[in-house]
């Protein structure tokens, strides 16, 4: 197998007619009061990458809910290995060691949760929510993890904020669904397309949805809720894609019909998110930019990292 195909296999189920198809997450347990994975402070640990938009969702949610003293965090190196796996490297600025299990790679963490993991030839992804009590992975699906973090908030932990109030839950889920395939996954479908037809279809759908969102934000601050809206999970899930767009996706994934900075309402939304307490510190621009251009050698074989852009969310 070509090394670039092996790396792509870490997050790709198949390239069907040149189309990118994302793998499903493997661990899908839930934290709930009185259940096997109970709602307890100090019990759970989050493994993330600053570079990854899916992991970034969980870190922002943890910060906005004020859960830093209840759920600990470790950060992998921004460099993705040739097989698509992640390593711990405390020598790299912003990255950490594995402070819970002492592993040198995230594969070691996955193997602790499932003893046949290494033999399965699967590759572990971020984020990972780890349970210290049962020494296993609870969940590695970002959307489910951020919803579980709201469970902690509802149990009286954190700052009393909810990012998924029950009265808005249906609207939140509908908005996340509407943005997932065209925008969140759409940038990857554009960037990893292997035929012109697959690329054209993905990038057209991506910008059609961005055009819709630009209109949706006219007179609004947040995606859902009455009036100007209310900050929810839906905003976080959109933000982690948009904040990488001009810095990475325009060039690296050929998403170049427009930039986010060319959409006044979307750019204002991104800046509004960055200005929220605790959010800017989760945006590690070097990890984000270097990861994509260095790691994806199938797209950038010489690992040349662009100097620009001079404008965008990273300068806010």
pLDDT in tens, 127-159: 999 999 999 999 999 999 999 999 999 999 999
Fold exhibited by the domain 166-276: Glutathione S-transferase Yfyf (Class Pi); Chain A, domain 2 (1.20.1050)
Question: Which of the residues in the chain have pLDDT under 70?
Answer: 1-17, 20, 22-25
Domain residue ranges in the chain: 3-154, 166-276
How far is Cα 247 from Cα 72, in angstroms, rounded to an integer? 29
Give residues with Cβ within 8 angstroms of 227, minimum separation 6: none
What DSSP string describes 249-261?
IHHHT---S--GG
pLDDT score of 5: 54
pLDDT score of 1: 46
- Angle made by CA atoms 178, 30, 58, in degrees to the nearest 5: 55
Half-sphere exposure of 168 (CA within 13 A, CB side): 20
Helix, strand, or coil (residue 87) = strand
pLDDT score of 151: 96
**Is the N-terminal amide bond of 55 cis, ω within 30° of 0?**
no
pLDDT score of 247: 98
How far is Cα 240 from Cα 270, in angstroms, rounded to an integer? 9
Helix, strand, or coil (residue 54) = helix
Q: What is the largest CA-CA distance in the chain?
A: 53
Catalytic residue, chosen from 44, 47, 50, 52, is: 52
Q: What tokens does 222 get?
A: 């947040």
Q: What tokens does 131 get?
A: 């349970």
Out of 2.60.40.10, 3.40.30.10, 3.10.180.10, 3.40.50.300, which CATH number does the structure's domain 3-154 have? 3.40.30.10
Q: Which of 145, 76, 144 is nearest to 106 (CA)?
A: 76
Q: Which of 87, 22, 38, 56 is nearest to 283 (CA)?
A: 56
Give residues with Cβ within 8 angstroms of 44, minimum separation 6: 31, 70, 71, 72, 129, 130, 131, 132, 138
pLDDT score of 12: 60
pLDDT score of 18: 73
199 is catalytic: no
Distances from the Cα of 53 to the Cαs of 2, 41, 192, 289, in angstroms?
26, 26, 16, 12
263 is catalytic: no
CB-CB contact of 188 with 249 (8 Å): no
Catalytic residue, chosen from 47, 50, 188, 292, is: 188
């Amino acid at each position: 197998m070509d090394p670039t195909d092996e790396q792509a296999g870490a997050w790709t189920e198949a390239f069907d007619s040149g189309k990118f198809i994302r793998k499903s997450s493997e661990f899908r347990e839930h934290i709930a009061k009185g259940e096997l994975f109970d709602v307890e402070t100090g019990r759970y640990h989050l493994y993330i990458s600053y570079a990854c938009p899916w992991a970034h969702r969980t870190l922002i949610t943890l910060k906005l809910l004020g859960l830093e003293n209840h759920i600990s965090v470790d950060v992998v190196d921004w460099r993705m290995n040739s097989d698509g796996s992640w390593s711990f490297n405390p020598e790299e600025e912003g990255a950490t060691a594995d402070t819970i299990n002492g592993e040198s790679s995230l594969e070691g963490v996955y193997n602790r949760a499932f003893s046949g993991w290494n033999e399965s030839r699967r590759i572990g992804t971020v984020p990972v929510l780890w349970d210290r009590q049962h020494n296993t992975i609870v969940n590695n699906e970002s959307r489910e993890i951020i919803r579980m973090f709201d469970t902690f908030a509802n149990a009286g932990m954190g700052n009393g904020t909810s990012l998924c109030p029950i009265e808005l839950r249906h609207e939140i889920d509908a908005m996340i669904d509407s943005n997932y395939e065209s925008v969140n996954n759409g940038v990857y479908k554009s960037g990893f397309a292997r035929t012109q037809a697959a690329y054209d279809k993905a990038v057209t759908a991506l910008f059609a949805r961005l055009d819709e969102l630009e209109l949706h934000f006219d007179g609004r601050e947040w995606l859902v809720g009455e009036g100007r809206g209310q900050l929810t999970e839906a905003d976080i899930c959109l933000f982690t894609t948009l904040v990488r767009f001009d810095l990475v996706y325009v060039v690296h994934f050929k998403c170049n019909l427009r930039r986010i900075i060319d959409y006044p309402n979307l750019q204002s939304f991104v800046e509004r998110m960055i200005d929220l307490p605790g959010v800017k510190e989760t945006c590690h621009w070097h990890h984000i930019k270097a990861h994509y251009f260095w790691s994806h050698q199938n797209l950038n074989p010489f690992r040349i990292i662009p100097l620009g852009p001079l404008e965008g969310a990273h300068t806010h």
